[in-house]
Amino acid sequence: MKKIGPSTLAVHGGEPHVRPSRSITEPLVLASTYPFEHTEELHAFMQGELERPEEYGRYGNPTVAAVEARLAALEAGGAEGFGAVLMASGMAAITSTLLAMLRAGQHVIFTADVYRKTRVFARSYLDKFGVAVDIVEPSLAAIEAAVRSETKIIFTEAPTNPYLRVVDLEGVVALAKRHRIKTIVDATFATPINMRPCDLGVDLVIHSTTKYLGGHNDLLGGVVVGRSGLVEAIREQVGTLGAVCDPHNAFLLGRGLKTLALRIERHNRSALAIATMLEEHPKVAQVWYPLLASHQDHATARRYLSGGGGVVSFEVHGGLEAGTKLVDAVRIPKLAPSLGGVESLIEQPALMSFYDQGPEGRAQLGIREGLIRLSVGIEDLEDLRADLLAALDQM
């Protein structure tokens, strides 16, 4: 089959798919249940003699299923044999996937700067269910050193938050295959436009669809994508765990997804320009952006990422207070958690995600007090640049 590009897949992935009334858009089906004609049909269904896509809302919905098919196609670059399960949030996708795959006595390796609530789940929940956890540096050597005979999963994130680290994914996959370990990558920051971990042999890819995939700061969602066998086993358990995706939410996601490639192009271009500008600014101490030559993981980033994404992290001289001045002085980026939407957002990790750690905890985690995380939106680059420069002047 001829290779299909990501922009086409973001719009048409999962087709041919004839919709009711042959509408060009996916209808929003709001139904909690799907009646049977008569008991005979029910009986045939229960015996497995009748194929019926829907039964009850928690086990599937046609609007959700269409978006799942598109996401699977996009993540796999159009390759056959992949599936996706949409869930209520990124955290629902992470926790449900791990709960579905693990049992007591097994061991999971997480890399240190995975999403904060993923770490909370690892430390406070998996432990409780008798699953051993190690959280290690995002380097191949550190991951390898943590492998035990009970290790079932290596869970990493690429790029990470807030320092945008990119681990050697091929190295991790090779290591995992040698030890019959499954690999999961939270690729929320990369999106399937900038990186496709499945092509590198990663077993499961997770996204918080709240971020770039939805892209409009108007929904919460999560998805897990991988080979159909593994994904269907997870779907089966999600029907029990219950963190399913609402059809309204899937509809919005399906709509946002159609412009993903266009939006990411803009995010990539503007963020790189802003990172370059900040790196040259005298009031900025350091900039983290994977495609800058100064980034610690620049070489791996170049290998895996076709674009650096929309997040730029930087440290200003003058610590927490100077950072606050800057965050309050900018006019276009809004002070808010989250990232990946059309609106630019800005925050100080020390006062947001890592507030509860206190200065010592943050120092231990390597979160600098003067650190700022900017999620570059799709506004005009010149306006964003002028806004940031004016705010830096005021700082």
Ligand X SMILES: *Cc1c(COP(=O)(O)O)cnc(C)c1O
Which one among 96, 97, 156, 208 touches ligand X, defined by CB under 6 A?
208
Of 25-33, 87-95, 171-179, 292-300, the window that binds ligand X (rule: CB under 6 A) is: 87-95
Residue 115 annotated in active site? yes
Burial of 124 (0-12, 13-18, 19+ CB in 10 A): exposed
65 vs 86, which CB is nearer to ligand X? 86
Residue 58 annotated in active site? yes
Cα separation, 325 vs 57, in Å, equals: 48
Binding to ligand X by residue 95, rule CB under 6 A?
A: no
- In the complex, the smallest distance separating the C-beta of residue 296 from ligand X, rounded to whole angstroms, is 18
Sign of the C-alpha dihedral computed for residues 91, 92, 93 and 98 taken in this order: positive
63 vs 188, which CB is nearer to ligand X? 188
Binding to ligand X by residue 89, rule CB under 6 A?
A: yes
In sequence order, the 6+-apart residues with CB closer than 8 A to the CB of 227 are 81, 82, 83, 203
- In the complex, the smallest distance separating the C-beta of residue 199 from ligand X, rounded to whole angstroms, is 20
Count the alpha carbons within 13 Å of 212 in the hemisphere toward its beta carbon.
Answer: 28
- Residue among 165, 182, 211, 368 flagged as catalytic: 211
Sign of the C-alpha dihedral computed for residues 344, 6, 214 and 168 taken in this order: negative
Binding to ligand X by residue 159, rule CB under 6 A?
A: no
Of 15-23, 206-214, 275-283, 326-334, the window that binds ligand X (rule: CB under 6 A) is: 206-214
Of 166-174, 181-189, 282-290, 345-353, the window that binds ligand X (rule: CB under 6 A) is: 181-189
- In the complex, the smallest distance separating the C-beta of residue 225 from ligand X, rounded to whole angstroms, is 14
Of 53-61, 83-91, 191-199, 256-264, the window that binds ligand X (rule: CB under 6 A) is: 83-91
Burial of 360 (0-12, 13-18, 19+ CB in 10 A): exposed
Which one among 74, 91, 167, 225 touches ligand X, defined by CB under 6 A?
91
- In the complex, the smallest distance separating the C-beta of residue 41 from ligand X, rounded to whole angstroms, is 38
Closest CA to 57 of 39, 83, 30: 30
- Residue among 34, 58, 125, 387 flagged as catalytic: 58
The contact set with ligand X (CB under 6 A) reads: 89-91, 115, 157, 161, 186, 188-189, 208, 210-211, 220, 222
> What is the set of active-site residues?
58, 115, 186, 211
